[in-house]
Amino acid sequence: MERIEVKEVSYSYQNKYQKIEAVKEVSCTFESGKLYAITGESGSGKSTFLSLLAGLDCAESGVILVNGENLSEIDRDACRRKQISVVYQAFHLFPLLTALENVMYPLELQGISRREARKQAAECLEEVGLEEKILGQYPKMMSGGEQQRVAIARAMAAKGKILLADEPTGNLDSENEAHIVELLKRMAHEMDYLVIVVTHNPEIARQADVCMRMKDGRMN
Ligand SMILES: Nc1ncnc2c1ncn2[C@@H]1O[C@H](COP(=O)(O)OP(=O)(O)OP(=O)(O)O)[C@@H](O)[C@H]1O
Ligand SMILES: [Mg+2]
């Protein structure tokens, strides 16, 4: 059972001229088994909020508890490797690694043997519906939808069951988008993941179990 508790979290960007309050006193809770959608206008703070949950940035005030542990007090790299995976709109696959090697990467980081990593990676790729012929292909040889599924398979291969996705279907056609949404739903409902997806897409928001909206840094 995974649980993220967000309490009064704020974050601002400071440049030479101004301070931008991107996230303002957000409080909310996320639990495994559910697909959460976060919508909101461009600039409302969605990506910033997700990067706080992922431990990529540190909340300026407030606390984020991941399974009861304060994210600012644990080794965030370790936490991220163990528990939380992030999938972005621009896939972030390693260009010089094949689909299989991309998915093996987090497994090998966990110290799993190459042979076992290969087996588990192939299973994850099968789980996201990719055919075997894709395994040896490099990202640039794959379609956008295929690349996004590899990215999700790689997130699955990481041990944790928290998946954060920032506009994961942003540049996919509607058919591929439907595949990804089905996959995210299946991860939440059948595999007991905690899935949070940031999206502009009303259809994804409609299919989510919980739909939240950000406006000017606040969560409604
Ligand atoms: N690195 C940065 N430095 C300064 N300001 C930033 C930075 N990143 C984001 N911002 C500002 O913080 C606010 C929230 O940005 P954020 O990227 O979280 O919005 P978003 O809801 O994800 O938007 P979009 O839907 O366009 O992706 C915006 O006003 C943005 O201009
Ligand atoms: Mg964004």
Could you tell me the distance, in angstroms and rounded to a whole number, from the CA of residue 95 to the centre of ligand 1? 27
**CATH class entry, domain 32-55+75-211:** alpha beta
Q: Is residue 130 within 8 Å of residue 81, measured between CB atoms?
A: no
pLDDT score, position 108: 92
Kindly report, residue by residue over 160-177, the tens digit of the pLDDT.
899 999 988 877 788 888
Domains of the chain by residue range: 32-55+75-211
Could you tell me the distance, in angstroms and rounded to a whole number, from the CA of residue 43 to the centre of ligand 1? 5
113 Cβ partners below 8 Å, 6+ apart? none
Q: What is the side-by-side strand order in the sheet with 61-66? A: 19-31, 3-14, 61-66, 69-70
Mutate to test the pocket of ligand 1, among 24, 38, 42, 53 (most ligand atoms within 8 A of CB): 42
Kindly report, residue by residue over 194-214, the tens digit of the pLDDT.
999 999 888 889 999 999 999
Q: What length does the chain have?
A: 220
**Gap between the Cα atoms of 22 and 159, Å rounded:** 30
The pLDDT of residue 81 is above 60? no
The phi, psi pair for 127, rounded to 5°, reads -60, -35
pLDDT score, position 76: 61
Residues, CB-to-ion distance under 5 Å, ligand 2: 47
pLDDT score, position 8: 98
Kindly report, residue by residue over 112-131, the tens digit of the pLDDT.
999 999 999 999 999 888 98
Q: Is residue 6 within 8 Å of residue 181, measured between CB atoms?
A: no
Q: Is 13 in the pocket of ligand 1 (CB under 6 A)?
A: yes
Could you tell me the distance, in angstroms and rounded to a whole number, from the CA of residue 200 to the centre of ligand 2? 10
Q: Is 47 in the pocket of ligand 1 (CB under 6 A)?
A: yes
Q: Is 209 helix (H, G, I), strand (E, B) or coil?
A: coil
